[in-house]
């Protein structure tokens, strides 16, 4: 039987967390929005998206990252270990409340 590549989409996951390098960002939680596309090869065993969401929320809240770049690199590394059936994934982190004129964020794509 041929393996089928399936994508799990997580859209607009909002988390209140400490993230940033400014003194004000280290004192008060702010909103972080996570969007992710996680591809895996489905073959009678599915990847539980609730476990992925819990993993993302717990990791972000516990780590209290400084830079978005540090957060996304750490998440990418930890996701590949925690969910070894992933074939590739893309993660986007956004801080919607930093500037009033736009939403700031970064995105990384990983092929495993």
Query: Per-domain residue ranges for the chain?
Result: 4-111
Angle between helices 49-63 and 68-82 (to 10 degrees): 140
For 16-60, how does the pLDDT look when each residue is reduced to its tens digit (9 = 90+)?
Answer: 999 999 998 999 999 999 999 999 988 788 899 999 999 999 999
Mean pLDDT of the chain: 93
* Predicted pLDDT of residue 83: 93
The fold for domain 4-111 equals: GTP Cyclohydrolase I, domain 2 (3.30.1130)
- Roughly how many angstroms between the first and final C-alpha of the chain, as a whole number? 22
Q: Residue 91: in which H helix or E strand, if any?
A: strand 86-95
Q: Please give the Cα distance from 93 to 68 (Å, whole number).
A: 7
Is the pLDDT assigned to residue 1 strictly greater than 80?
A: no
């Amino acid at each position: 039987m041929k393996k089928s590549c399936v994508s799990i989409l997580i859209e607009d996951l909002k988390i209140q967390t400490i993230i940033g390098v400014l003194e004000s960002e280290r004192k008060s939680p702010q909103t972080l929005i996570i969007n992710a596309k996680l591809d895996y090869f489905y073959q009678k065993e599915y990847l539980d998206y609730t476990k992925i969401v819990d993993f993302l929320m717990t990791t972000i809240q516990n780590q209290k990252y400084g830079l978005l770049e540090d957060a996304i690199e750490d998440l990418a590394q930890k996701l590949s270990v925690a969910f070894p059936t992933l074939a590739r994934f893309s993660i986007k982190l956004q801080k919607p409340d930093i500037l009033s004129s736009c939403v700031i964020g970064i995105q990384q794509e990983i092929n495993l």
